[in-house]
Structure 1
């Protein structure tokens, strides 16, 4: 069987000279949970991985093995984006052309990201960003401010894309550059938008206090415009996950309830690429129940999620990935595999590259007395050795 995160945690814990009891104390999880994760009987949740990696002084990616190899086209795209991010503020700008054309190209890249074609998004971004830098140097006044708005948006999209593909180290320079250009943008919401992207990375690494500060400041800065309502609601969803990862279930529920109130006023929208609305609030409600509440409730209620055909496929897939983990934690490995196949159908690229999917597959294999052909087929597609 392939190396699951629990095995890596056990190895790193021994290298660090810690007992299971000591790791349990440092992570604020129970001793029984530490034992179950190390033995592969429980899937390491994102919150557990964050806490364990901090306690062991390593990154979560060292425990999950991410990023995963998805072929030369993705490697080439990541390499080109890495060069761009390494250039930072000294970027090699190119002839911009009309700003309206760059705007249209950025929107096309955003649609690719939303429709689970993240590699294609990454392929397009360097050219778009170089043209935007050219525009900021050629334009003045309102035109320049618009170019800076698009530039901040493009760097946030770059951060989202590299994080989705598991290249977390590239997220950090992308965030720094988004922070540089957001204050120069004509849209004042981009400062909060960039801060929320940073908060999500901090949550991933288990630094919840600074993440909380950024989230709270974004909520406070939101105005009563529709854009402000979307930003406030989206901030509350980020806050819900941050609190759930800390196992503060009551605070996570409060954030979801606040987001639900904003969603009732905004309806479904993809403003700022947030996919914010009642559906996303429902998805987060199930996610926090799984992370810090009752996994069996998350499994049962999450399985009943309804959505329209135009729902963002990557959001839907992420829900089914969570639902699979909930079913596995409820002792139903067959239902877990069925949920993973729903995720694969909705957004195959995202599902293939997400660490939680691989961990859930290892957990299903450990729970099944005999590995089914359907599980072996899924694992083969994933590139995971059972």
Structure 2
């Protein structure tokens, strides 16, 4: 899929560069693009691709959306993709009648395309997913319909991975009905992989339905049933599949107020995490670092006397760079809530800003970021300008 080229961003880049007290040469070095490119972009002589825009924004330490014209905001691009995803979901079981008029790449090319969209999910690049997922998902449904028997399990697995990426966009942007339908497609395709590890991954993702509905105890029971079905070999993939289910079960138990069950699942996740290297297994980050992130999440979920546990862990440990951006951002969002509850608004605001720096689109669409930014703005008068700017950026008060 060709990258979009954005026009009219030059003045915004120049302004943000001056605010950051950087020369054009400094920005070029930080973004790892040529000085000539920076000069031409700022003069309006050329546009910028997604990759260059994100590199420049990274060097400036800001959300790429701040460099875009209003008509190109990521939120708008995400919402524009929703009808395309809905159309795929209407026709996926009958592609021979509705979807036979499009191209279909060979399996290696599809594998590469899906790996890219998975990477975008892990790094919380939701606008990029929104642009590519509808067409890719339609193509994969066509490929699954025509796949040779030996290829069907792999194509079905690619459908699962792409659905999961599209669901991350739908769920985080509040399209809960679309999210539920994507999860149905994921489950339908997952059965066709005949792989219990994929089944475990689908159960892990489907648990978000219970987070969204507040049915935490029901979701906990569903994950415990999934754990009963999960493979029990000593392969890294099997260990990680069970460990991920225990991590998510621990958080659901915490949200349900069941501290004993949360501790049991955390202990099991910790034991399994110590047996595999930190990595991404069937689309889910798992390992010792991921378990620690979930320890903070469980403590915050339990609230009250457990918040100190989150603060103690954060004093001793910070998420390393080998964790996906979305997970690292989530750590600081959870930590910010613990700091806010413990009467440390300055630290809470610093954590929210760190979450934004790591994964801007993830932080901006997170309900807790909006709630906590709105609370901080009410409680705090110092640094009011920065707080107001942050609150406006994440639409604090909108649905909080």
User: Would you say same fold, with TM above 0.5?
Assistant: yes
**1:39-74 deviation digits (Å, cap 9, x = unpaired):** xxxxxxxxxxxxxxxxxxxxxxxxxxxxxx954212
Residue among 81, 85, 90 paired with 2:89: 85
Give the deviation of 1:288 after TM superposition. Answer: 0.9
Pair 1:274 & 2:248 matched: no
**Could you tell me whether the CA contact under 8 Å between 2:159 and 2:189 is conserved in 1?**
yes
CA distance in 1, matches of 2:231, 2:194: 16
Residue equivalent to 2:214: 206
Aligned length: 318
2:231 is matched with: 222
Distance 2:112 2:325 in 1: 22
What secondary structure does 2:208 align onto? helix
Tell me, yes or no, if the aligned pair for 2:161 and 2:283 is still in contact at 8 Å. no
Aligned residue runs from structure 1 range 209-288, under 5 A: 209-220=217-228, 221-224=230-233, 225-288=235-298
Structure 1 counterpart of 2:344, from 322, 328, 332 = 332
SS in 2 for 1:270: strand
TM-score under structure 2 length normalisation: 0.75
Which protein has greater RCO, CA pairs closer than 8 Å, 6+ apart? 1
- Once residues 209 and 250 of structure 1 are traced to their aligned partners in structure 2, the CA distance between those partners, rounded to angstroms, is 13
Q: How does 1:1-386 map to 2 (within 5 A)?
A: 71-91=75-95, 92-93=98-99, 94-220=102-228, 221-224=230-233, 225-293=235-303, 294-369=306-381, 372-384=384-396
TM-score by length of 1: 0.77
| Structure 1: segments with no counterpart, 5+ residues | 1-68
Contact 1:148–1:186 (CA under 8 A) maintained in structure 2: no
Aligned to 2:59: none
Q: Secondary structure at the match of 1:321?
A: helix
Distance (Å, rounded) in 1 between the aligned partners of 2:160 and 2:389: 41
Q: Residues 238 and 180 (structure 1 numbering): CA distance in 2 closer, same or farther, change over 3 Å?
A: same
What is the Cα deviation at residue 209 of structure 1? Answer: 4.0
Larger-gyration structure (1/2): 2
Q: 1:83 deviation in Å?
A: 2.3
Whether contact under 8 Å (2:77, 2:130) holds in the other structure is no
CA–CA separation in structure 1 for the residues paired with 2:349 and 2:226: 38
Aligned-partner Cα distance in 2 for 1:71–1:133: 26
Following TM superposition, the consecutive aligned residue runs of length 4 or more in structure 1 with deviations greater than 4 angstroms are none
Change (3 A) 1:130 1:369: closer
Quote how far apart the aligned CAs of 1:121 are. 1.2
Q: Give the whole-Å Cα distance in 2 for the aligned partners of 1:235 and 1:173.
A: 22
In 1, distance between residues paired with 2:188 and 2:323?
A: 33
Which consecutive residues of structure 2, in runs of 5 or more, have no partner in the other structure? 1-72
Give 1:382 deviation, angstroms. 2.1
Tell me how far 1:124 sits from its aligned partner.
1.2
Deviations 1:249-284 (A, max 9, x none): 121111111001111111201011111111110011
